[in-house]
Structure 1
């Protein structure tokens, strides 16, 4: 048995089709000064051709799956439309006297390396988007056509090193009964598309390509992440039966997800979605999300040479507010630092960046940058039910200083005669144990709390959740974590403030009943987890405390 990461639920038992990555040998050529302009023009022409291909893929996905899954390709088009990215490639061509193919490959590879080293899983998986675009541009420049997927004309489990969003969009569910990759995570765009296409998937399977061939049969469990090589007939028949039952269950789940999630004894639990870009809203709505419980605003600040303007931020925040049409939208102010560095800020290297100058600590030091973001959020509040949330609060003093800047941002807008909503809820993330222990002191100054379980767990146990050697300590169900969450809820409710959870724990059905029993009012998760979570909540009978 091979154990991977469960990325898309369901079961499959079929022969394998091994999809090999195209071997791209990028020529590195030194060009003369007279060739600079032609190479830069060639680069622009290829980018436009790739954009046309992406637009065609987008339309195919829209017709086949729905508008809500087109966000992946909208984000790819946004990347290619970024003038800073083109300027980087132009600079490589001109300053380094390199050919367009090599320049594009180098610049995209730099962005891939940046995202791959991030701790945040959602942001780390964005490396796959840049890799997809890098390879598309390279293949176009080299005249290579990827036709490998067109060879599949029988039911198979597709096994490959990695699968790009563009490749996933080309998959035909009538032939592709399962997906297995050597790398990847649950928040990658390919995993999201696999879930939408209802194709069971297991990712992060290491060197599985060394162990199988096209003659191998696999039994795949996308719920547990287990793979069985050359299984017996009994397991094959059982997995095929379980998959049919799962498909029927999923159809009823999605229909029911658009109704509010009340426990059987009547307690309403808000089930919201976590997003990183405005395009992610569509998937939240399609899966029955009650709102946005976490909008990671740092996507606007990463991978660029200068800070986003107030207007640019306003457009992103207001787009989400409009899309959600009155449903709550909680915008977390930028959580920068740690593994997320900004080239336009003087950020000195730190020995332990995750315990250092990050999130609210950075924002309170870079006041003008913070005020710009706060003004953009305030302006966007006119277009929906916008709330603001400060990350990494550890003390009352930090919270009061952040709120003082919030009031200053209001004064600045008033001076400019710019409008904003008068009543906007303010909340904070509970990620640091010190904050969890003083909720009674923090509560008078906020309207709500959101527990970031990922950081709370790793800070409580002093264990990096990305370090496999101490992975055994990363246990969401440990009594220490449940007691902290229970104390947060109890102290917050005592002062009439509601509490949500927005880490991975919130989207895991195995912890849902415990969280609801502790009194948590809202759970926020990846959009694909919403239907199942709502079903689980409706089956609960949790007496009120």
Structure 2
């Protein structure tokens, strides 16, 4: 028996044979081109064909995994038409007189390296998307077939990593689990696994070898372990664990459509946190009551320049429409600290967590903020969008935000653009200062949302990125819980509601405590919706 350990991205037990995804590798050779204009035309024709293929994949994905998850192929189409990407390829063909395949491959490497170097995990995952789009272009240019996997029976799909165009071509009914050598929790493989609710283990490294193809294996998605050629004792233990897990999931499935209400009748909204459009499918699949945190900064982090109002509008509109009237709380951009976008031109700071970030950027660079607010209010006509603002420390900040909202609303009215005038606005409670003035903040806004990750960091004066401080980091610290209680009391005193969207919302050991505080909404990862609902319904 061989045991491999990696990182779990979705729990559960899968038992079956391993099947490696077989990819047709292409060797790119640099060739000198005499007629660069003809080569650019060849590139443009290949791009048009690749766009058509992506549209076909989008249509297939809509049937397989829903509109929200199919959106990745719309994003891939946008990448193919991205001006910076296209200009880089065309300029290389023109100035270096090289073949299109080489220009595309080099551009892909440069862009992928840029994404991979970013601190944000979501943006690191986009490096694979650039590679995927570019490989499609190269295969069209070289008249090569795409990779495939023969699935005559349900299998454990293994690969170095899988990109969207590969996963969408898999027969979803025959995928028992995903296991990959590389990838991140924000990779498309991980997102798809969470949407499909199947076990997935990533980051197995070079230990996951091609020679295991066809071997019987057990994937323990709960502990992030794979057993290849398991012995009888391990197989028996894993089969028992699988039965118990399936029983739990069946019981949780029965909770779909049920209220989030305690035995005594106290109700709480259970919403989902998402980081991008492709997570919306998992939100709907897991029966979330709404979206409690949509991290809008992904729009900025995946762009080479400031996203336009129109680009942002399309994304917010799509999410609002997909949620079909359910509340969608969108957090305005939280750039800074560990989330850097080079084109913002931010200075290097000694202590970025306490520096120039989030609302501080918005209020000092109003042209950026105003563009986002216009897009948000335009999208509000298509669903129940609410807006919340991060890193608030004072009432003055909120008043300045409201002044800018007033300007935006007046402009849209003059332009004859539809928008909802009753859009809820809220602030994130993630600094001790916000807690201490929460009685005043509550008079200015419609709701609070507690960001427990930063609130814990700032309350305990502990950098949550510093692994050496883990022994001192206590998310259950009485001071942190007292901060949340104070904010809840002050919100309710003014007749406003309060939610929690940080990691603590998914801590089932604290659910009872939060309900006792009167927390009105808990927002968690999509896969935690039903377990949280179960815990709520078991509370007195």
Fold shared by both chains (TM-score > 0.5): yes
Partner of residue 445, structure 1: 444
Please show how residues 111-126 of structure 1 align to structure 2 within 5 Å. 111-126=111-126
More divergent stretch after superposition (401-410 vs 90-99): 90-99
- Secondary structure of 1:262's partner? coil
Partner residue in 1 for 2:236: 237
| Cα drift, residue 182 of structure 1 | 3.0
The equivalent of 1:85 in structure 2 is: 85
- Match status 1:394 vs 2:385: no
Does 2:47 match 1:47?
A: yes
Give 3-state SS (helix, strand or coil) of 2:178's partner. strand
CA–CA distance in structure 1, aligned partners of residues 402 and 486 of structure 2: 24
CA contact (8 A) 2:69 2:277 kept: no
Divergent runs of 4+, >6 A: none
Alpha-carbon separation, structure 2, partners of 1:332 and 1:216: 46
- The verdict on how the C-alpha distance between 1:270 and 1:365 changes in structure 2, with shifts beyond 3 A counting, is same
Q: Distance in 1 between matches of 2:262 and 2:114?
A: 43
Q: Aligned pair 1:26/2:25, yes or no?
A: no
| Cα contact 2:20–2:149 (8 A) shared by 1 | no
Aligned to 1:128: 128
Change in 2 beyond 3 A, CA 1:373/1:39: same
Task: Tell me the C-alpha RMSD between the 2 structures.
Answer: 3.3
Q: How does 1:94-113 map to 2 (within 5 A)?
A: 94-113=94-113
Q: Which runs of 5+ in 2 are unaligned?
A: none
1:198-277 pair list within 5 angstroms? 198-209=197-208, 213-214=212-213, 218-228=217-227, 230-244=229-243, 246-247=245-246, 249-250=248-249, 253-254=252-253, 256-277=255-276
Q: What is the deviation of 1:79?
A: 2.7
Find the residue that maps to 1:348 and give its secondary structure. coil
C-alpha separation between the residues in 2 aligned to 1:97 and 1:433? 59
Q: Return the alpha-carbon distance in structure 2 between the equivalents of residues 143 and 128 of structure 1.
A: 22
Structure 1 Cα separation of the partners of residues 430 and 181 of structure 2:
32
Q: Deviations for 1:284-315, whole angstroms, at most 9, x for unmatched residues?
A: 23331212212222333344454333344333
Trace 1:444-483 onto structure 2 (pairs within 5 A).
Answer: 444-461=443-460, 463-472=462-471, 475-483=474-482
The corresponding residue for 1:9 is 11
2:244 & 2:136 partners in 1: Cα distance?
A: 38
Q: How many residues align?
A: 538
| 1: CA distance, partners of 2:458 / 2:510 | 19
Deviations 1:361-389 (A, max 9, x none): 11111112212222232233333322211
Q: Does residue 296 of the first structure (1) align with residue 295 of the second (2)?
A: yes
1:192–1:528 contact (8 Å) kept in structure 2:
no
Consecutive unaligned residues of structure 1, counting only runs of 5 or more, are none
Deviation at 1:514, TM superposition (A): 4.3
Q: How does 1:137-156 map to 2 (within 5 A)?
A: 137-147=137-147, 149-150=149-150, 153=152, 156=155
Asked whether 1:494 is paired with 2:496, we answer: no
Q: Which is worse superposed, 212-221 or 158-167? A: 212-221
Q: Give the match for residue 484 of structure 2.
A: 485
Alpha-carbon distance in 2 for matches of 1:347, 1:443: 32
3-state secondary structure, aligned to 1:444: coil
Alpha-carbon contact 2:64-2:172 (below 8 Å) kept: no
Alpha-carbon spacing, 1:416–1:57, altered in 2? closer, same or farther (3 Å): closer
Equivalent pair of 2:271/2:523 in contact (CA under 8 Å):
yes
State how far apart, in whole Å, the 1-side matches of 2:203 and 2:471 are. 18
Cα deviation, residue 525, structure 1: 2.9
Structure 1, residues 495-521: CA drift from partner, whole Å, max 9, x if none?
Answer: 332221223443454554444344322
Judge conservation of contact 2:65–2:281 (CA < 8 Å) in 1: no
Q: Partner residue of 2:69?
A: 69
**1:158 and 1:179 in contact (8 A); partners too:** yes
3-state SS of paired residue (2:167):
helix
Q: Is the 8 A contact 1:173 1:199 kept in 2?
A: no
CA distance in 2 between partners of 1:474 and 1:155 (Å)? 43
Determine the structure 1 residue equivalent to 2:357.
Answer: 358
Q: Deviations over 1:117-143 (max 9, x none)?
A: 444434443333223223333344444
